[in-house]
Structure formats: C-alpha cells, structure tokens
C-alpha cells in the first residue's frame, strides 16, 4: 500500500476495511469475535472494538495467524469462521452458506469458499474429487501447469468444525516455497483424518481482496455499484448513477432525486421527496422531507435541514439547524447556528462563529430576513421577524420585528470621479 496506515484501516465507502468484515460477521451473532493483529497495531484494535484482538508476534503465514487466536478462543467448540480483514465485500449470505455446509449430513470438517474470477492470476486452486468434495488446495507458486489451468480459486475464507480446528492446526508444517504455515493445508489434514471437505462457490465480488491502491480502487468501485443498485431498487432516482458516491451508512428515503456529481460522506440521513442538486457534498447531516439542496452545496457534520427548506449554490452549513421552509440560496456560511422556520438568509451572509478559541451560537428567529452580505458576529440573536440591512455587521442582539443597520454612512462627492480620471491621464 506504500502507506503509514495499516492496510486494513484503509476505508471503503467511508469505513475501514476490517470494520466491514467485523460488521458482516456480527450479523451472524457470533459467541465471540477475535481479530488477529501484528505487534503495535493498537489502531486496529481500537477500530474493531469491542471484538477481542490477538497478536501474531511474527508473520509466518495464515495458519500461524489463526493459531495466535487460540487462547482467545479457549473452550469454544462450535463453528469457526476464518475471514480476512482485507476482503471487505464478503456478504452475510455467503457466510451463512458456509455454516450450512458444516451442518450438512456428510458432516464436513471444513467448508472452503471458492470463486471463479475473470483472471485467476496467482490465486490458489481448488482441486475437487469425483465425489464433488475438495481434495486439496494448491498455492499458485506450488501448482503445476495442469493445476494452474483450473479456474475454481480459493477465496481464503473457511468454516471449520471447532472441535478439530486446533488439533489440525498443530499438524500444519512449513515445507513449501515460502517456508510459511499455510491454512490451506487444513484440507489435506482433514481428508487424512477421514473427514469430508466441501466447497461453497461464491460470487467473485465476495472474494475481492486488497493488496495495493489499485485494488483498493477496484473494491471501492464494486461497493459503490452495489450501493447504487440498492438505492435505485429502493425508490431513489439517480440521474447519473456512476457519478454519485455513497458511504456505507447512507440512508435515503423514497422519491429522493440525486443529480450528477453528488458525494455522500458518512452519517447522512435523507427523508422522502428530497431533491439534491448536482455537485453537492454531504456528510454527517440530516435532511428532512421536501428539502432542496444545491447545486454545489456543502453540508458538514451537524447540519440539520428542516422540512421544505432550501440550501442553495455555494452554501456551507455546519452544526446548524435550519427550520421548516427556511432558505439560504446563495454564497453563504452558516456554522453553529439555528435558523427559524420561514427565515430568509441573503447571499454572502456569514455567521462569524469562531473567535480563535471557541465556537459561539448564532440564533436567527422565525421569519427573519437577513440582508445580503451580513456578518453575524456570534454570540448573537436576531429575533422573530427581524430584518438586517444588506452589508451590516451585526454584533448585538436584534429584537423581534426590528430593523438593524450596521454599516458606514454613504457619502457622495459630486464630480470626484471625473476629476480623478483627469488627474490620472498620462500616468499609465
């Protein structure tokens, strides 16, 4: 990855890869979850909490990584799912299918997830027998030409009978091209023990792993396509789906319209009938029914947009509650504020919320009219129905229904411009 950030903490759809995997496993309601990490990876432990972590002191292969979790799994003899923190698109139905295989009448010891990628590349190959069971897994480096011609590949995801897992792991050696302890050797060990091993064939998308920035981009593209399909089938109109980007937790109501180029960051909830115009960026915001957002709007965390409110072009809203039917249509910054129902905020308005040390609140009452190019120096309150004159700098509260004018008096000097131009002739 060429990054100071651990690979599994790189985000996909706004969430670290490893958190995707932990969350999909949580959908099965496991008795315990253990994440194996390298020494010093406290950042990963924090992200996966409250899941337990176990440390693999030296990276000696996948089987050795699983063995590092043995103490944390002490006393557990149920089904064990072994997943990879860099395969974030694995689906809950795929995991359920693996568990069902372990409970089949043939009572296999291991169920392996297989898939058929467009390009098998360097994936390990699944070698099946005449009975349809899995005979062995051959790593690409160790495979011969005939074995490499097989297109059924190993996804690296396993379901194992917990009663035999640790006994089998103890038998795995490192006599291979890399001198590592391969988890794939579970298959041969189970077969030698007279136990059946089966394959669950999943979709190629389930097995997409990340080992480079390029592969991270491919996984991001795949999850975005998945999210777009989800919203399109759920009553959302995406005018140009390929240009709209979602977070893993985006929530959109019915009859929402999203124009091209919109980006949803984490923590966005949009109610029914909202229209989000082109090139808006939204994160950590709630948008109530019937609101119109954009184009080119930016809603930052804490933005709470009321029913039928309008947030227009080049308007930025942060930690601000916008009341029902209120409007801020042009070139405005609203931060740490409340805007009452029906209020109108003119172009160029700024809430001056930060004094260099702390943030302060601006309150705009119901039906107030904020003139264009007003600076509201917080903490300040504009009362219900009050008006601020265009170009004002408001530093004190404005009572309800009052007019506040806070600007320099205009002077007119007749003929001054003409005299000025005459004085400048020949100087250019």
DSSP characters over 325-387: T-EEEEEEEEEEEEE-TT-EE-TT-EEE-B-SS-B--EEE-TT-EE-TT-EEESSEEE-TT-E
Q: Is 194 left (phi over 0), alpha (psi -120 to 50) or beta?
A: left
C-alpha span between 149 and 128 (Å, rounded):
13
- Cβ atoms 126, 189 nearer than 8 A: no
Going by their DSSP bridges, the two strands 304-305 and 362-364 should be labelled as: unpaired
Residues 6+ positions from 65 with CB-CB distance below 8 Å:
36, 56, 59, 183
Strand, coil or helix: 127:
strand
Distance (Å, rounded) from C-alpha 301 to C-alpha 69? 38
Secondary structure of residue 198 in the 3-state scheme: strand
Known catalytic residues are 330
Which residues, in sequence order, are bridge partners of residue 352? 377
Q: What are phi and psi of 241, to 5 degrees?
A: -50, -40
């Amino acid at each position: 990855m060429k990054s100071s950030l651990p690979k599994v903490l790189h985000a996909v759809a706004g969430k670290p890869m490893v958190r995707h995997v932990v969350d999909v496993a949580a959908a099965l309601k496991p008795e315990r979850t253990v994440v194996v990490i390298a020494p010093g990876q406290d950042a990963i432990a924090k992200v996966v909490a409250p899941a337990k972590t176990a440390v693999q002191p030296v990276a000696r292969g996948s089987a050795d990584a699983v063995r590092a979790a043995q103490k944390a799994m002490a006393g557990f003899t149920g089904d064990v799912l072994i997943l990879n923190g860099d395969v974030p698109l694995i689906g809950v139905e795929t995991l359920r299918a693996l568990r069902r295989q372990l409970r089949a009448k043939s009572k296999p010891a291991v169920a392996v997830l297989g898939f058929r990628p467009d390009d098998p590349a360097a994936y390990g190959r699944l070698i099946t027998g005449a009975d349809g069971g899995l005979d062995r897994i051959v790593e690409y480096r160790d495979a011969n030409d005939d074995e490499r011609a097989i297109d059924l590949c190993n996804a690296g995801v396993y379901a194992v009978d917990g009663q035999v897992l640790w006994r089998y792991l103890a038998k795995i050696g490192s006599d291979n091209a890399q001198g590592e302890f391969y988890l794939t050797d579970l298959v041969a060990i189970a077969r030698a023990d007279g136990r059946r091993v089966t394959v669950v064939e999943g979709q190629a998308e389930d097995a997409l792993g990340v080992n480079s920035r390029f592969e991270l981009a491919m996984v991001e593209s795949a999850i975005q396509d998945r999210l777009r399909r989800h919203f399109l089938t759920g009553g959302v109109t995406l005018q140009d789906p390929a240009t709209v980007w979602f977070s893993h937790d985006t929530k959109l109501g019915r009859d929402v319209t999203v124009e091209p180029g919109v980006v949803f960051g984490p923590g966005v909830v949009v109610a029914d009938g909202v229209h989000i115009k082109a090139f808006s960026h939204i994160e950590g915001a709630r948008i109530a029914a019937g609101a119109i957002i954009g184009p080119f709007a930016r809603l930052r965390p804490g933005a709470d947009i009321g029913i039928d409110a309008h947030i227009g072009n080049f308007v930025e809203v942060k930690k601000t509650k916008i009341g029902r039917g209120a409007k801020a249509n042009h070139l405005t910054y609203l931060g740490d504020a409340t805007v009452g129902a029906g209020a109108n905020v003119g172009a160029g308005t700024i809430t001056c919320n930060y004094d260099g040390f702390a943030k302060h609140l601006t309150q705009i009452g119901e039906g107030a009219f904020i003139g264009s190019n007003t600076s509201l120096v917080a903490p300040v309150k504009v009362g219900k129905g009050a008006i601020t004159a265009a170009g004002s700098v408001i530093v004190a509260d404005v009572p309800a229904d009052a007019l506040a004018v806070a600007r320099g008096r205009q002077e007119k000097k007749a003929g001054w411009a003409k005299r000025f131009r005459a004085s400048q002739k020949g100087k250019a």
